[in-house]
Amino acid sequence: MHLADHIPDVEVLLALEPDELGLRMLPVLARWKRHEQLELGTFFNITLGHPQAPANSSVAHSRYPQVRRNEIEQALGEAWAWLEGAALLIPSREYIGAHTIRVLSRRAQQLAKEHNPRQAFGERRIPKDALNENIREDVWALYHRGKYDTAVFEAMKAVEVAVRAAAGLTSKDIGTGLMRKAFEPDTGPLTDMNTEKAEREARSHLFTGAIGSYKNPHSHRYVALDDPDEAAEIIMLANHMLRIVDARVEAKSKP
């Protein structure tokens, strides 16, 4: 298997981010012949042809234009470095001392079998320690297991609970109505009166819109959400909203 089988267009290859290119390299690396050492220089030569090989030699063959070799090597090198940093390429245990021979980690071997390695790798897009303590364990675990719709619902529910508690409102205050009351531009208990009214209104709209868009629909019906990137973005939005609530609680506690 050749990388050009997966990415035939050199412009596409060069446009990919290191993580995207690295994950698309995995199926090729997973089928590496055992008698060939898996190292970056060898990968260059297999993919691009050996730069000093005779023109009629098989190792000189490449489906990528040689005039773009430096650019391609740069992109492949960055992707290789990303794979190492993500613990998908690890040093081979067959060699002692410092060496550049790599093997695929267990996780990389699994990803190489996935129809969509990027989606399967999606759970790594949310750093656990970056999440608010209210969603750090349950939401991260749900997301990691691929329960994207449930993770989003729980994240937004955590926002709702936090807003209700911080605003001192009752269990009868729910959903968008709760957000409007808590962040009412002139009287809301969580409204920052030190900001311009337009900003106060915008924050009220932010909380009301987010809960209405991402929490309420999941409360009333099954909502298909199978894109890890979209789910991660919504969860990080909920995380930011929780940060705002925490900041308002801290500000209110000061004399």
Both tokens of 11, joined, read 């412009």
Using an 8 Å Cβ cutoff, are 163 and 182 in contact? yes
Chain-wide mean pLDDT for the chain? Answer: 86
Both tokens of 48, joined, read 């691009």
Give the distance, in angstroms, between the CA of residue 59 and the centroid of all CA atoms in the same chain.
37
Using an 8 Å Cβ cutoff, are 225 and 151 in contact? no
Kindly report, residue by residue over 78-120, the tens digit of the pLDDT. Answer: 999 999 998 999 998 888 888 889 999 998 888 888 777 766 6
Tell me if residue 25 falls in helix, strand or coil.
helix
Domain ranges of the chain: 3-120, 128-253
> How far is it, in rounded angstroms, from Cα 61 to Cα 45?
9
Which residues, other chains included, contact 51 with Cβ-Cβ below 8 Å and sequence gap of 6+?
45, 69
Beta strands in the chain (DSSP E): 89-91, 102-104
In 3D space, the residue among 193, 208, 200 whose CA is nearest the CA of residue 251 turns out to be 193
In 3D space, the residue among 97, 110, 99, 85 whose CA is nearest the CA of residue 30 turns out to be 110
Ranges of H-type helices in 145-227: 148-167, 175-182, 197-210, 216-220
DSSP structural state of residue 195:
S
Using an 8 Å Cβ cutoff, are 138 and 154 in contact? yes
pTM of the model: 0.59
**Residue linked to tokens 């009220």:** 204
Kindly report, residue by residue over 156-187, the tens digit of the pLDDT. Answer: 999 999 999 999 999 999 999 999 999 999 99
- For the ranges 32-41, 100-109, 136-145, 171-180, the lowest mean pLDDT is seen at 32-41
Confidence of residue 60 (pLDDT cuts 50, 70, 90): very low
> How far is it, in rounded angstroms, from Cα 170 to Cα 177?
12
* CATH code for residues 128-253: 1.20.120
